[in-house]
Amino acid sequence: MIVFDLTCDSGHRFEGWFGSSDDYAGQRARGLVSCPQCGSATVEKAPMAPAVPRKGNSQPAVPAHPAKQPMARGPMPPEVAEALGKLAEAQAKALKDSRWVGDTFAEQTRAMHYGERDPETIHGQASLEEAQALFEEGIPVAPLPFPVAPPDELN
């Protein structure tokens, strides 16, 4: 047996079971395949669920159950929004006692590490190369989960 997702000319979707693909084609040609909702015999194989991208028609037809697919559309799930909110809050708390040093971050971090200046909690900007260089020198730096606007860019 083979199952096809079918759609009629009124857009109703339904499943049809057939002995084979040829069986489907034969029954359809004789008008034996009809929509259970409106009785229309003008039926086509329904396109797969729009959330599942498909390449070509070479793959076997799989019964689509779009309702059971995890979807990324629509508003953010509350638990994700909450987790992001907590992360943002944690970052804000961590940065409260931290001084913005802008693009001198790598320079100042290095100076502190080698005892050339008093230790202080700072945050700022570093290029990927600078961050990598600090990391390779064994200087602990951490990327911030959220971008921070330099204070002079704030209103």
Residues that bind Zn ion (CB under 5 A): 8, 10, 12, 35, 37-38, 40
Q: How far is the CB of 26 from Zn ion (least distance, A)?
A: 21
Residue nearest to Zn ion (CB): 35
Nearest alpha-carbon partner for 103 in 119, 75, 127, 132: 127
Nearer to Zn ion, 9 or 107 (CB): 9
Token pair, residue 142, equals: 């951490």
Q: How far is the CB of 37 from Zn ion (least distance, A)?
A: 4
C-alpha torsion sign, points 10, 51, 74, 66? positive
Q: How far is the CB of 87 from Zn ion (least distance, A)?
A: 48
Compute the distance between CA of residue 19 and CA of residue 146 in angstroms, rounded to an integer.
56
Name the DSSP letter for residue 47.
Answer: P
Nearer to Zn ion, 35 or 131 (CB): 35
Q: How far is the CB of 68 from Zn ion (least distance, A)?
A: 23
C-alpha distances (whole Å) from 2 to each of 27, 79, 84, 108 are: 14, 40, 45, 68
Nearer to Zn ion, 9 or 103 (CB): 9
Nearer to Zn ion, 46 or 106 (CB): 46
